[in-house]
Chains A and B, each alone.
Chain A
């Protein structure tokens, strides 16, 4: 009886600790999230759509490639990329470019490349990131085309 009680008590403690950890890791990403939200606010008011359309011109291949490039060199919590991607979409940037951007953000890590190379090998890290870049373009095109086909 005592044993069962101790076990449930232990489980309860582990459960609470898991949520404590989640809240803590959420709190550590909160400053960046708030900063990004405030920056998007500035962006929305200060940068007119015409400026965005000079960067993302509407030329599909070029825009998708650019989306992947920007996503590759950026790092950080994926939520940030969804926020930025969602706002870009509202400003009229194509879904191809936005999908490439959010995919490359999480799969290509130019900033983490040195850490990955030192633990898993230079050849592996370079190959993996190069392939991930290529795949971010393919995933973006495939996803958007599939979405267009589905009624």
Chain B
């Protein structure tokens, strides 16, 4: 109950910060409009142009977000993440990292719980790194950088996530070994 409340306050704080950000930008525009009306109007046109270009892509994003909300729930994910290891564990962590959505602070407590239940740190790292690949947002990335770029980038990111997981496990093992030797 308390964590739910905490989540809500964080969310509310985020919303008010984002509104504050928009208001500050609008104030800057307001001031500039009085100083240099021509140039500031040009800025408005430039922004409008960007906005018009991106709006269809954003609609696709909302649709994909809705779909991934429907298909995937954090609780479902945790059921699969904890228990498996080996090749299956690594690929499942990567896959769920890619499919996971929502803000990161929703996932930290869940990962902590999984860690306490024995999930390997390497797998947590793999999961967190793959969160960087956001399937619903890919249309925006493709819009700006092209399909081929996005494809290559995603492949390299998945490879790096696995490398990172392995390196973290290796370093943690060495650290624990050293600690045991010292004691």
| Chief secondary structure at chain A's binding surface | helix
Inter-chain contact A28/B26, CB cutoff 8 Å = no
Bound-state Cα–Cα, A127 to B175, Å: 12
Interface residues on B, range: 35 or more
CB distance from B60 to the nearest CB of A (A): 11
| Chief secondary structure at chain B's binding surface | helix
Which residues of chain A are near B102, meaning CB under 8 Å? 25
Which residues of chain B are near A49, meaning CB under 8 Å? none
Inter-chain contact A82/B164, CB cutoff 8 Å = no
Q: A26-B61, A38-B22, A124-B168 are in contact. List 17 more A-B contacts (CB 8 A).
A: A18-B69, A21-B69, A25-B65, A31-B18, A32-B21, A35-B24, A38-B43, A39-B25, A42-B43, A79-B140, A106-B132, A115-B105, A124-B121, A127-B168, A128-B168, A143-B149, A147-B148
Residues of B within 8 A of A (CB): 11, 14-15, 18-19, 21-22, 24-26, 28-29, 32, 39-40, 42-48, 50-51, 54, 58, 61-63, 65-67, 69-70, 102, 104-105, 108-109, 111-112, 115, 121, 124-125, 128-129, 131-132, 134, 137, 140-141, 143-145, 148-149, 152-153, 156-157, 160, 163-164, 167-168, 171-172, 175
Would you mind naming 16 contact pairs between A and B with Cβ atoms under 8 Å apart?
A: A22-B66, A35-B21, A40-B50, A41-B43, A45-B40, A78-B137, A82-B140, A82-B141, A82-B143, A82-B145, A119-B111, A119-B112, A128-B168, A132-B129, A138-B160, A139-B157
